[in-house]
Structure formats: structure tokens, C-alpha cells
Chain A
Amino acid sequence: DVKVTQSSRYLVKRTGEKVFLECVQDMDHENMFWYRQDPGLGLRLIYFSYDVKMKEKGDIPEGYSVSREKKERFSLILESASTNQTSMYLCAVYSPSGANVLTFGAGSRLTVL
């Protein structure tokens, strides 16, 4: 089973700061995802990537960008953090063979002051 590691469990940033959230998988799967989770709104897809340097916008990409320079690493970037980006951010990896499942990291809880 793939292991998904998110670099920061809790972050506190100030409005206007640039924020990097990193996600690393220990296998070679192509599809990686960034979601945000907010109370009452469930999980919403921000971006996903289906290969190195390949990305597609999800449902709520505004205010975010992503980077995938290596297959195992998928980064979410907040160019200028705002208070409405305070949220739980979840990275996930899709395993296409066998289990056909989405495996999540532990999450990064971001607070923007």
C-alpha cells in the first residue's frame, strides 16, 4: 500500500505570506490530489496531477497553484495567503491497480491570521 506523507501537520501563517504544502508518496503512482476540507462543505478538490508537470484544476483552484517536478512529490502553493484559506488540506494518491483506492495523507491544518 502506498504511504502518503504531508510535511506539516499544523501551520500558522500571516495574511500575504507565501505558503508551501508538500506531499510525498513512497511509490510511483501517477495521480495525486489536493483537497481542502471545511465544516459543512465536505472535501473539495483544489488541483490534481496525472503525471510530472501535468496538472488540472479541480473545483476550487482560485488562489492556489501546484507544482509536480518529480513523480513522488506534489506541492500546493498559496501565493498570498488569505484568512479564507484557513482550512484542513489533504493530499491523496490514487492507486489504479488492485485496490483502486484513494489513499490520504494525515492532513495539514493551516491557520492564516
Chain B
Amino acid sequence: GIQVEQSPPDLILQEGANSTLRCNFSDSVNNLQWFHQNPWGQLINLFYIPSGTKQNGRLSATTVATERYSLLYISSSQTTDSGVYFCAVDYTGTASKLTFGTGTRLQVTL
């Protein structure tokens, strides 16, 4: 199956700092999503981004499908950004084979 690697595994930032999270995947995909899991365990979809660039407020993401990686940018980080960020990829188009990375744990401190 597809392998998904995320880096870094852990990240500590001061409030206001910027960060870049990376997701590498081993094969062609037609579905790539970024999720944020808050400290209470709720997983929230941030982006559906199998290719190209998207922005939503302080967050943006870029996927370079031909080079099999995706980047999630967090600017002006806030304590509410803390949690675990997951990248997930799928080649079926139906999410039936969605494979998750092991995540990047982000802690934003005051």
C-alpha cells in the first residue's frame, strides 16, 4: 500500500511563529487531505488538496503531486493551533483506501 511519512514528528512553537509541516507519499494519489486533531480528539478536515495550493485564513497548503509531497503552512500560530496534524492520501477517489500518516504533534506556547 501507499506509505505516508510526516515530518517533523513533534514541533514546539511560540505564539506568533510560523511553521511548515511536510507530508511525503510513495505513490500517485487522487485524494489528499490535511486534518487537525484537537486535544479532545476531534478530527477536523482542514484541506482537500490532491494538487495545487489552497489558503484558509492563517493556514495554507500546497501539494506537488508529481513530486509526491504536500506542505501545510501555519502562520502567526495561536495556542488553539495545538494538537496533531495528519495527512491522509487515497488513490481510489472514494476514501475507501485512505492511508494516514503518523502525524505531527504541534504545541504552541505563550
Give the B-binding residues of A (Cβ under 8 A): 31, 33, 40-43, 45, 48, 50, 56, 88, 90, 92, 94, 96, 99-104, 106-107, 109
Pair A102/B100 contact, Cβ less than 8 Å = no
Q: Is B56 an interface residue (CB 8 A)?
A: no
Pair B43/A90 contact, Cβ less than 8 Å = yes
Cα–Cα, bound, A101→B56 (Å): 16
Interface residues of B in 33-92 (CB under 8 A from A): 33, 35, 40-45, 48, 86, 88
Pair B96/A48 contact, Cβ less than 8 Å = yes
Chain B residue contacts of A88, Cβ below 8 A = 41
Cα–Cα, bound, A38→B31 (Å): 24
Pair A104/B42 contact, Cβ less than 8 Å = yes
Give the A-binding residues of B (Cβ under 8 A): 31, 33, 35, 40-45, 48, 86, 88, 94-96, 98, 100-103
User: How far apart are A87's CB and chain B's nearest CB, in angstroms?
Assistant: 11
Pair B95/A33 contact, Cβ less than 8 Å = yes
Pair A100/B48 contact, Cβ less than 8 Å = yes
What are 8 A-B interface contacts by the 8 Å CB criterion?
A31-B94, A31-B95, A31-B96, A43-B86, A101-B33, A102-B88, A103-B45, A104-B43
Known: A100-B31, A101-B48, A102-B88. Contact between A45 and B42, CB under 8 A? no
Pair A94/B94 contact, Cβ less than 8 Å = yes
Pair B95/A102 contact, Cβ less than 8 Å = yes
Pair A42/B100 contact, Cβ less than 8 Å = yes
User: How far apart are A96's CB and chain B's nearest CB, in angstroms?
Assistant: 7
Which single residue of chain A is at the shortest CB-CB distance from B30?
Answer: A100
Pair B33/A102 contact, Cβ less than 8 Å = yes
